[in-house]
Amino acid sequence: MNKKSFLFVANWKMVLTAQQSMNYCQEHISDMTKLSEATGNSIVLCPSFPMIGAVNYLTIDTPITLGAQSCSSFAPGAYTGEVSAISLAEFGCKYCIVGHSERRHYCHETDEDIARKVRHCLLAGMAPILCIGEVEDEAIVIKTASILDEQLSLLSDYVIDLGINETRTIWIAYEPVWAIGTGRLPDSHYLHEIYDMLEPIVSKRVPQGFTIRYLYGGSLTEENIESITNIGTIDGFLVGGSSLDFQKFKNMISLCV
């Protein structure tokens, strides 16, 4: 039986400066290339907007893929300060994170905003990485199921009319808000239950014809990542803080073989 390969998405958030982003790539792209080839795992780098062009240039002709941390919920037009999905795709982005809890909280993005972003990503040829998750006082499986269902409730309205030529893969990243940056990983029993109930929710909210893949994110480290690789529906990981330290990131990827 072939081993499972995982997608590792490095979300650098607004942590690295432009020079630090350049240094990271110049110092580690060669090692990342070897790591991807040796493990069979795929690596996606999501720098801040100003560094997308530079990171794209530095990763050309490597297996490392480029992603964006967000995009506009609007089509190209008179929206000062916004960045369209199609522009990101033209710069080489193959993936785009949408609906991250920090965007929902700090930028007040709604489920409708996020569903619109998913649509624009698909139309631009990018695979959206749609983040969903509950806050701590909702961290009961039955209640969480309702929260996640609500967060996905408008998705069908915005993708149902897309043609067969558009990108048909949507990545669902389950990130419990109470785990992000806290060092607290949900126990494997809880995660098994969450992913088991996610599939029927997603199948209800996403029209037929789309491929759905699942990620986990939230306080992932080299010490705990192996404990959740046996959850069958998890196809990869959305990694925040641990992706900023290349040795930690490398160890995490190396463990998932």
Catalytic annotation, residues? 100, 175
- 152-156: list long-range contacts, CB under 8 Å, 24+ apart: 152/111, 152/201, 152/202, 152/205, 152/206, 153/111, 153/205, 154/111, 154/112, 154/115, 155/115, 155/118, 155/130, 155/205, 155/206, 156/205, 156/206, 156/207
Q: Are 126 and 96 in contact (CB under 8 A)?
A: yes
Residue 218 Ramachandran class (φ > 0 left, ψ -120 to 50 alpha, else beta): left
C-alpha 83, offset from chain centre: 18
Tell me how far apart the alpha carbons of residues 123 and 117 are, in angstroms, rounded to a whole number: 10
- Which among 1, 72, 11 has a CA at the least distance from the CA of 236? 11
* Ranges of H-type helices in 13-130: 18-39, 52-59, 85-90, 101-106, 111-124
Task: Dig out the tokens for 194 from the structure.
Answer: 């969450």
Tell me how far apart the alpha carbons of residues 178 and 133 are, in angstroms, rounded to a whole number: 9
User: Which is it for the CA torsion 180, 185, 188, 189, positive or negative?
Assistant: negative
